[in-house]
Amino acid sequence: MISLIKNELTKIFHKKGIYITLIITLVFIAAINIIYKFKSDSFDYDVSYDIENYEEDLKNLDPNNPREVDAYVQAKSGLEASKLIQKYGDKYNWQMRVVNNYVRSTIISMNTYLYESKDTKKYEEAKKEYEMQVAKIDSGDWKYFVETELKGVEQDLEDAKKQKEFSQNETYLDDEIYNLELEKQVLKWRLEKNICYGDDYKNNCLDTWYMRKKDIKGLKQENFSNEHNYKLNYQRMQEEIAISEYDIVNETNSGIDSDARGLLLNIFDQYQLFIIIMGVMIAGSIVSEEFSKGTIKLLLIKPYQRAKILLAKFITSIIVLLIVILLVMLMQFILGGIVQGFNLFKVPAVVYNHNINQIQEINIPTYLAMQLVGKLPMYVLLMTLAFAVSTLFTNSALAITIGLLGYMGGPIVNQLAMAYKLSWIRYFVTPNWDLTQYFYGGLPEFSNVNLALSIAVIVVYMLIMLIPTFIVFNKRNIKNI
């Protein structure tokens, strides 16, 4: 058996196709890492369009007309705020956030006192506040605005708690107090962890933590079609909250999936198509090529049973698949390290373990090994499908096509089953072949699926494909080939 496998490996690694596919994968991995390295975290915001609109509106408004003065104040305030935003650049930045959330209201107050109430004293007070705010922005003192907001939230919180003592509508006030406590925590984290306003990963963590905390409190089982969907959504929110809080408190970036480390940890999502293409290409041609080239006769005259020859080919396909996966991991590690820095790989994988309800750190090799074990049944099943078609019909193109269609059709079958609530889908292979859904106490997508059933379904489908393949191969007449 070992000599047969060695012979098959030698034949496979003499094929140019596998090296061409690996080179294409290498180029793709390099391109992905370079793109993510230089992509901007901030999005462009063209404020000039707003300025043009406000200027056009002001041409048609008269501040001396009582019916138009309010619209004039709003347009003039919008114009002045937009020009202030333009002063600090075209990217979304903390200055834009501060202008929109704080300075804009001060500008509106100034223009209201100037054009509507014509209160000179209050106008001067508002103008002084505006000048102070602009000075804080120009000096880069973003913390001033956080501290101001924190004081406001603390005052609102105190008022809400006092109001609760005399109010009968406790549910409404409980929700308000809960939300204010969340806002207070976010602002305290900003100051403690030096998280400036923005749209970077840390700000996303704060937003995610805040929103999911609100969502999970309002999550009700009656809003879902069944208990499983309720629990599944609860688990996902719980996981997002825990990982976001972990990264905020520990000042880490474990949830980023676009750096070299993130791409490596998510390698089976990022580069899965290349892995499956190579696996299906190998399994779909390893037998059929022997027939198309006529070398099957030379192979079968050797002193080996046909079943052993076919088994050697199947085992060889799996071995090559594992080698390909390791090569893809190695390419991502090396290229990602060169482009984005090897120091990123010092950070362990961080997962939320639902069994113990807490964050768990796992070293990267162990995490990747576990992911491989969970994903391998899907890859082997698709390879087995291509291998079976290759053997039964001796047609490489058909075998590879059916194998790839099996991969692409999997998500479609699952979506249709969920949409139409097809309970019998639990016995189909696609909801069962990804065992990573059970890791760390996770719930599967389908309510009537479990780990024992998934393993049983995987084994049954493997046997359904392999048994006819070995029977046909053993009985096939090769005299006319």
**Token code pair at residue 305:** 């049973």
**In-domain check, residue 10:** yes
Tell me: the pLDDT tens digits for 115-149?
A: 998 899 999 999 999 999 999 999 999 999 999 99
How many degrees, rounded to 5, is the angle at CA 375 between CA 464 and CA 416? 70
DSSP 172: H
Last residue of a domain, one of 140, 174, 206: 140
**How big is the CA angle at 174 (ends 168 and 176), to the nearest 5 degrees?**
110
Q: Is the pLDDT of residue 89 over 70?
A: yes
Q: Does residue 298 form part of some domain? A: yes
Same domain, 289 and 376: yes
- Tell me if 26 sits within 8 A of 338, measured CB to CB: no
CA atoms of 271 and 333, how far apart (whole Å):
13
State the average pLDDT over residues 348-375: 94
Reduced to 3 states (helix: H, G, I; strand: E, B; else coil), residue 359 is: strand
Residues 56 and 100 in one domain: yes
Closest CA relative to residue 175, chosen from 214, 219, 233, 216: 214
What's the pLDDT at 3?
Answer: 80
Q: What is the spatial distance between Cα 432 and Cα 378, in angstroms, rounded to a whole number?
A: 9
Residue 230, in any domain of the structure: no
For residues 84-101, average pLDDT: 87
The H or E element that residue 349 is part of is: strand 349-353
Please give the average per-residue pLDDT across 33-52, as a whole number: 81
* 433 close to 458: Cβ distance less than 8 angstroms: yes
CA-derived radius of gyration, the chain: 31
Q: Indicate if the pLDDT at residue 259 is higher than 80.
A: yes
Distance of CA 45 to the CA centre of its chain: 25
Distances in Å between the Cα of 215 and the Cα atoms of 138, 175, 199, 206, 212 are 37, 12, 21, 14, 5
Q: Within this chain, do residues 9 and 52 fall inside the same structural domain, yes or no? A: no
Q: Give yes or no: residues 20 and 60 share one domain.
A: no
Same domain, yes or no: 401 and 276: yes
Q: How much is the pLDDT for 355?
A: 92
481 pLDDT exceeds 60?
Answer: no
Reading phi first (left if > 0) and then psi (alpha if -120 to 50, else beta), residue 415 is in alpha
The reply to whether 113 and 12 lie within a common domain is no
Q: Which residue has the tokens 């113990």?
A: 356
Q: Taking Cα atoms as reference points, which of 17, 37, 14, 122 lies closest to residue 339?
A: 37
What pLDDT score was predicted for residue 275?
93
Q: Which long-range contacts (CB under 8 A, 24 or more apart) does 408-413 make?
A: 410/378
- Residue 406's alpha-carbon distances to 259, 282, 335, 379, 386, in angstroms, are 31, 16, 31, 11, 9
pLDDT at residue 181 in the model: 96
Q: Model confidence over 325-354: pLDDT tens digits?
A: 999 999 999 999 999 999 999 989 999 999
Mean pLDDT of the chain: 90
59 and 29 assigned to the same domain: no
Which residues does residue 360 pair with via DSSP β-bridges, in sequence order? 351
Q: Are residues 9 and 84 in the same domain?
A: no
Q: Is residue 161 part of a domain?
A: no
Supply the DSSP symbol for 115.
I
Minimum mean pLDDT range among 75-79, 191-195, 270-274, 473-477: 473-477
Residue 41 pLDDT more than 70? no
Asked if the model's pLDDT at residue 480 lies above 60, the reply is: no
304 or 360, which is more confident? 360
Q: Is residue 234 part of a domain?
A: no
- Among candidate residues 120, 140, 160, the one where a domain is terminated: 140
Q: In total, how many domains does the chain have?
A: 2
Structure token pair of residue 130: 């505006």
pLDDT for res 234: 93
**Residues 392-439 pLDDT 10s:** 988 889 999 999 999 998 888 888 887 777 888 889 999 999 999 999
Count of Cβ atoms closer than 10 Å to residue 67 Cβ:
7
Q: Note the pLDDT of residue 302.
A: 65
Domain assignment present for residue 275? The answer is: yes
pLDDT, tens digit, for every residue of 260-279? 999 999 999 999 999 999 99
In a domain, 221, yes or no: no
Q: What is the mean pLDDT of residues 283-299?
A: 80
Percentage of the chain beyond pLDDT 90 is: 64
Q: What is the mean pLDDT of residues 231-259?
A: 93
Q: What is the pTM of this model?
A: 0.86
Six-digit token string for 312 = 């050697």
Distance CA 216, CA 231 (A): 11
pLDDT at 44: 67
Same domain, 32 and 61: no
Residues 133 and 280 in one domain: no
Q: What is the dihedral of CA 17, 23, 25, 27, to 10 degrees?
A: -150
Nearest 5°: the CA angle 349, 353, 354 is 155
What are the pLDDT digits (tens) for 384-394? 999 999 999 88
Domain boundary among 91, 113, 140: 140
Residue 224 is assigned to a structural domain of this protein: no
pLDDT score of 301 more than 70: no
Tell me, yes or no, whether 310 and 426 share the same domain.
yes
- The pLDDT confidence band at residue 84, using thresholds 50, 70 and 90, is very high
Alpha-carbon distance 266 to 245, whole Å?
21
Residue 348 has what pLDDT? 93
Render pLDDT for 213-230 as a digit per residue (tens, 0 to 9).
999 988 887 788 788 889
* Res 358: pLDDT: 92
Domain that holds residue 130: 45-140
Half-sphere exposure of 34 (CA within 13 A, CB side): 6
30 and 49 belong to one structural domain? no
Of all residues in the chain, the percent with pLDDT exceeding 70 is: 96
